[in-house]
Amino acid sequence: MLLSVQQISKSYGARKAVDGVSFQVRPGQTVGLIGPNGAGKSTTVAMICGLLRADAGSITLDGAAVGLGASAAKRKIGFVPQDLALYEDLSALENLKLFGGLYGLKGALLKARCEQVLALVRLNDRAADLPSSFSGGMKRRLNIAAALLHEPQLLILDEPTVGVDPQSRNAIFDTLEALQAQGRSLIYTSHYMEEVERLADHIVIIDHGKVLADETPAALYQRLPAQAALHVELAQAPPDTLLRQVRALPGVTGVERAGARLDIGLGDAVHAAPVLAWFNAEGLALLHFSTARTSLENIFLNLTGRSLRDTPP
């Protein structure tokens, strides 16, 4: 196991920001740490990086304890903070040389690492430019480059796409997927479920400082009885008798009516065709129909009772 987080807690006065959080990261694994704003994600990340002292619990990286101050374990972590950490009056390359020097890199090795990480984040043609001339997404990619200079075993990214445009977000994803292909271990925090669905092979859901789920995406999909959905629109609102007939069809796990529209939960997407065939056999003309898969956003809402983007009550 690369990272082991065991029952860590952190309080600020009477408010418990993190309450007994535990999870693990294996070598080569990408763990998505998700939750609404204020759920405890950033505090958890700060404790893993050794920036905050945990009130209780333990954190080990590659078998060594992570704590405050300098340590061999902390040098194996690369951290991309939510707030940009760049010197606007230094060029992109000068920023990297400064951060590389803090990691003890120098000479030919520092030069080579700067070139490698700039190429990885696709900023090698802007090495001489000031970050003040960069877009928000380019600045975040430079932050990622800085965190990779010392070749960390674990890269932690705290909300790395906040405030960036879709094109920049895709460029960040391309960089992270390249790191995954290299076998790098990642922790990716976000309150955007679609980002985590794209990147993570394991998901930790946190809310009010507690872990609500620690599973693979496939296991999370099993949390809801409806693994797929069929939306159909009729010419007029269907009677209760029709709803009962639809609920009795094989593979149907539930039916909700909204005017002339029916939202039909299915145990699996393969049941959509037989249900549509039943409507046709009954002579019920459909104005429109569509299929969908249960989303992780639905699962989060089912677990917490609130949206990922909600602020805490």
pLDDT tens digits along 79-130: 999 888 899 999 999 999 999 999 999 999 999 999 999 999 999 999 999 9
The amino acid present at 290, given as its one-letter code, is: S
Residue 235 has pLDDT above 50, yes or no: yes
Res 305 pLDDT > 70: no
Single-letter amino acid code for the residue at 100: G
pLDDT recorded at residue 285: 84
Q: How confident is the model at residue 1 (pLDDT cuts 50, 70, 90)?
A: very high
pLDDT tens digits, 271-293: 999 999 999 999 998 999 988 76
- pLDDT interval class at 166 (50, 70, 90): confident
In one-letter notation, the amino acid at residue 224 is: L
Query: Mean pLDDT throughout 154-159?
Result: 95
CATH of domain 3-221: 3.40.50.300
Amino acid at 155: L
Q: How much is the pLDDT for 92? A: 98
Q: Write down the pLDDT at residue 313.
A: 47
Query: Do the Cβ atoms of 190 and 31 come closer than 8 Å?
Result: no
| Mean predicted confidence (pLDDT) in 123-147 | 95
CATH architecture, domain defined by 228-293: 2-Layer Sandwich (3.30)
Q: Residue 190 forms beta bridges with which residues? A: 34
pTM across the whole model? 0.78
Q: How large is the average pLDDT for residues 150-154?
A: 96
The 8 Å CB, 24+ separation contacts for 303-306 are: 303/205, 303/207, 303/212, 303/213, 303/223, 304/36, 304/205, 304/207, 304/212, 306/36, 306/207
Domain extents in the chain:
3-221, 228-293
For 70-93, write each residue's pLDDT tens digit.
Answer: 778 888 999 999 888 899 999 999
- Mean pLDDT over 10-34 rounds to 96
Rounded-to-integer distance, Cα 215 and Cα 225, Å? 17
| Predicted pLDDT of residue 225 | 61
Percent pLDDT > 70 in the chain is: 94
Q: How confident is the model at residue 226 (pLDDT cuts 50, 70, 90)?
A: low
Distance CA 86, CA 81 (A): 11
Average pLDDT, the chain: 90
Give me the residues paired with residue 154 across strands: 77, 185
Share of the chain above pLDDT 90, in %: 66
Residue 270: per-residue pLDDT: 87
Average pLDDT over residues 146-166: 92
Per-residue pLDDT tens digits for 168-224: 888 999 999 999 999 999 999 988 888 888 899 999 999 999 999 999 988 887 776
Instruction: Determine whether 38 is exposed, middle or buried from the number of CB atoms within 10 Å of its CB (0-12, 13-18, 19+).
Output: middle
pLDDT in the model for residue 64: 92
